[in-house]
Structure 1
Amino acid sequence: MAIKLIKISSIYFFIAVILGLIMSITHDYSFTPVHVHMNLLGWTSLTLAGILYHLFPQLEQSISGKIHFWLHNIGLPIMMVSLYLLISLENESFGIGAAIGSIITVIGVIVFVLNIFINLKKS
């Protein structure tokens, strides 16, 4: 799971960098919220979680580690696609998808934090 998180995070990084390049070329920065969230919740957070899961296998092997993995990787794409569509189509109905994806992701992060506090111990 640790390696999968790091690989998934690199995809978010790639997409965020390409989106940043497109915004710079076009001088249209309306997708900055998507760019920032992909970098922070996709690239940075998932990379760090992957490193922690690799360094501390008890985190990865716990049920909360698995729950975090799935919630984060279900919620974040829903949030990013919905936010992109909300901005690009200027259609507020995509706001519900962004909200649902955000809530799923936040629950995943809460589970991750609980996993750290419950299962990360000095060896």
Structure 2
Amino acid sequence: MKIKVDSPHGTVWLRLAAVYFVAGVWLGIYMGASGDRSLYPVHAHLNLLGWVSMALFGILFRKFPAMGASPLAQAQFWLYNLGLPALMLAVTAIHRGYRGLEPLAGVASVVLGVAVLLFAVNVFRNAGN
């Protein structure tokens, strides 16, 4: 079976990475202009977990199409893309004084952690195929 080299799964990750890159940069601009740096953890996570990690997922899924074709990729995609926005909203609220959302941040972190584990398993099983 021949797998298409230009994995649409990789393209989706790259497009999402671009969205998070824009969000992270504009949050940084807002913080710099306003002098309010209280959301620096959100800014950092948008850039690292959103822009950088998603771009790397996309590049790797395009480079190793077997990774994108794996059922692990589908589970990773949904867990990551449900966990990351939930974490960003929770961390934003927490840094704005709404400490009641700390459990949501914890659950979202675990969801992201599981997605990352799935990605790692996928790398070991399918990278290079």
Scaled to the shorter chain, the TM-score interval is over 0.9
Asked if structure 1 preserves the Cα contact closer than 8 Å seen for 2:64 and 2:126, the reply is no
Equivalences for residues 15-26 of structure 1 within 5 A: 15-26=23-34
Amino acid at match of 1:108: A
Match for 1:32: what amino acid? Y
The letter for the 2-side match of 1:8 is L
Kept after mapping to 1: 8 A contact 2:93/2:99:
no
Larger % of helix: which? Answer: 1
Deviations 1:10-34 (A, max 9, x none): 1111111110001001111110000
TM-score, normalised via structure 1 length: 0.95
SS, match of residue 44 in structure 2? helix
Q: How many residues of Structure 1 are paired with residues of Structure 2 in the alignment?
A: 121
Question: In structure 1, what residue type is equivalent to 2:113?
Answer: V
Aligned with 1:104 (options 94, 108, 111)? 111
**Structure 1 alignment gaps of length 5 or more:** none
Corresponding residue number in structure 1 for 2:48: 40
CA distance in structure 1 between the partners assigned to 2:24 and 2:102 by the alignment: 20
Q: What fraction of aligned residue pairs are identical, expressed as a percent? A: 33
List alignment gaps of at least 5 residues for structure 2: 1-8
Q: How does 1:1-123 map to 2 (within 5 A)?
A: 1-88=9-96, 90-121=97-128
Alpha-carbon distance, 1:72 to partner: 0.7
Length-normalised TM-score, structure 2: 0.90
Q: How far, CA to CA, are the matches of 1:22 and 1:97 in structure 2?
A: 25
SS at match of 1:43: helix
